């Protein structure tokens, strides 16, 4: 909803230092028609070090070159979009493609990354292992996003990170903006990982072509679209929103429009949050600026942000959107319905 901030250099450097060399080592082997052995030397589940076809080796040469030139692991969201837009590897038959994707998934192994492991490459063996600190990429990324309290796609469901009584770290899902199945080599790219809710990650965004969809690191939905409750009058009741639509700002990007469609935001908000919209409209009408000033003098507090939080659930400031449930709709209503 509000653009996500960049990832700090300390995190990107750490990720690049831990992952770049071992992954490049495994790709180098594939470019020479050889498969890495998956697992530590001497481990019981080592797979034989078979060869790959000449066509597959050419494909891997393309992947390795892009990996080295563009530094997938830490490339910004804009660079990732560029990589995907220009991705034209040498063609493979379906059997080779299936094998190539399988190998890339074992190298760019998101599940291992998520478990706090780091990759190793030694003497033709590629494996993931617990690092010395036991703190994995998934964990440090989750802590980076601790101020993103609500899903950047819907702004409605909670993003969480906490430690259980027995010491386990519990995180929300990270969505792969460009899908792992389609782009296995971007599975560990920090700017391809976006903290999200289950509905947006697993139920709505399943097969979309994300090249045409707004990216929360690049496009700011707040400056592209605004929530607008369509009102109607029922008997003696005041105006109740029957439907919530998202209207484009003057220069709305087509990618933002596609984002609204993909995440079904109008249907979601109309079916689940019409009452929240109505309550917000009523608050705007009752809590006039004059009332707010009066309230500030009664509670003896000069900071308008405190009064706004008490009345509207948030300081009326766009920097608060990702920290507040329905924060964007609240701000849009305050802006359009104020008296
Ligand atoms: Zn969501």
- Maximal CA-CA distance, the chain: 79
Residue 208, in any domain of the structure: no
Residues 252 and 332 in one domain: yes
Q: How many CA atoms lie within 13 A of 21 on its CB side?
A: 7
Which band of pLDDT confidence, cut at 50, 70 and 90, is reported for residue 161?
Answer: confident
Residues 171 and 263 in one domain: no
Would you state the structure tokens that stand for residue 31, as one six-digit string? 């470019």
Residues 252 and 173 in one domain: no
Q: Sign of dihedral through CA atoms 171, 175, 176, 182? A: positive
Report CA(134)–ligand 1 centroid distance (Å): 30
What are the percentages of helix, strand and coil residues in the chain, rounded to 5?
Answer: 50, 15, 35
Residues 185 and 324 in one domain: no
Report CA(174)–ligand 1 centroid distance (Å): 11
Q: Which of 148, 159, 153, 149 is nearest to 260 (CA)?
A: 153
Residues 125 and 57 in one domain: yes
pLDDT surpasses 60 at 332: yes
Query: Residue 338: what pLDDT?
Result: 78
Q: What is the pTM of this model?
A: 0.91
* Residue pLDDT, tens place only, 74-83: 999 999 999 9
Report CA(198)–ligand 1 centroid distance (Å): 7
Residues 185 and 304 in one domain: no
| Count of domains for the chain | 2
Separation CA 192–CA 75 (nearest Å): 9
- Residue 184 or 339, more confident: 184
How far, CA to CA in Å, does 73 sit from each of 88, 169, 187, 327? 19, 23, 9, 32
Separation CA 114–CA 157 (nearest Å): 22
Report CA(310)–ligand 1 centroid distance (Å): 25
Q: Which domain holds residue 138?
A: 9-194
Query: Residue 150: what pLDDT?
Result: 95
**% pLDDT > 90, the chain:** 65
Report CA(240)–ligand 1 centroid distance (Å): 25
* Residue pLDDT, tens place only, 265-310: 999 999 999 989 989 999 999 998 889 888 888 888 778 899 999 9
Report CA(100)–ligand 1 centroid distance (Å): 32
Residues 228 and 305 in one domain: yes
Residues 17 and 124 in one domain: yes
Report CA(199)–ligand 1 centroid distance (Å): 6
Would you state the structure tokens that stand for residue 143, as one six-digit string? 């802590």
Q: Write down which residue in 153, 175, 194 finishes a domain.
A: 194
Report CA(86)–ligand 1 centroid distance (Å): 29
Residues 49 and 187 in one domain: yes
Residues 153 and 31 in one domain: yes
């Amino acid at each position: 909803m509000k653009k996500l901030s960049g990832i700090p250099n300390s995190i990107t450097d750490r990720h690049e230092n831990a992952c770049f060399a071992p992954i490049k080592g495994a790709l180098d082997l594939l470019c020479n028609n050889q498969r890495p052995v998956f697992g530590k030397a001497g481990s019981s589940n080592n797979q034989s070090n078979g060869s790959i076809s000449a066509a597959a080796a050419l494909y891997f040469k393309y992947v390795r070159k892009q990996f080295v030139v563009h530094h997938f692991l830490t490339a910004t969201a804009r660079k990732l979009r560029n990589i995907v837009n220009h991705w034209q590897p040498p063609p493979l038959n379906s059997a080779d493609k299936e094998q190539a994707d399988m190998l890339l998934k074992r190298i760019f192994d998101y599940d291992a990354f998520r478990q706090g492991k780091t990759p190793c490459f030694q003497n033709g063996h590629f494996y993931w292992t617990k690092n010395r600190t036991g703190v994995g990429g998934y964990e440090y990324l989750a802590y980076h996003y601790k101020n993103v309290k609500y899903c950047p796609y819907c702004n409605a469901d909670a993003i969480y990170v906490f430690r259980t009584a027995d010491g386990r770290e519990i995180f929300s899902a990270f969505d792969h903006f460009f899908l792992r199945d389609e782009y296995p080599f971007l599975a560990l790219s920090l700017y391809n990982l976006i903290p999200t809710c289950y509905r947006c990650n697993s139920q709505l965004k399943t097969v979309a072509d994300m090249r045409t969809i707004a990216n929360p690191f690049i496009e700011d939905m707040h400056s592209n679209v605004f929530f607008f409750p369509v009102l109607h009058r029922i008997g003696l009741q005041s105006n109740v929103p029957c439907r919530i639509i998202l209207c484009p700002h003057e220069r709305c990007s087509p990618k933002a429009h596609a984002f609204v469609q993909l995440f079904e935001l109008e249907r979601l908000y109309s079916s689940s949050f019409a009452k929240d919209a109505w309550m917000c409209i009523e608050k705007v009408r009752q809590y006039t600026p004059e009332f707010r000033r009066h309230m500030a003098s009664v509670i003896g507090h000069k900071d308008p942000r405190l009064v706004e939080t008490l009345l509207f659930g948030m300081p009326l400031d766009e920097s608060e959107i990702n920290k507040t449930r329905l924060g964007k709709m609240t701000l849009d209503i305050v802006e359009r319905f104020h008296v």
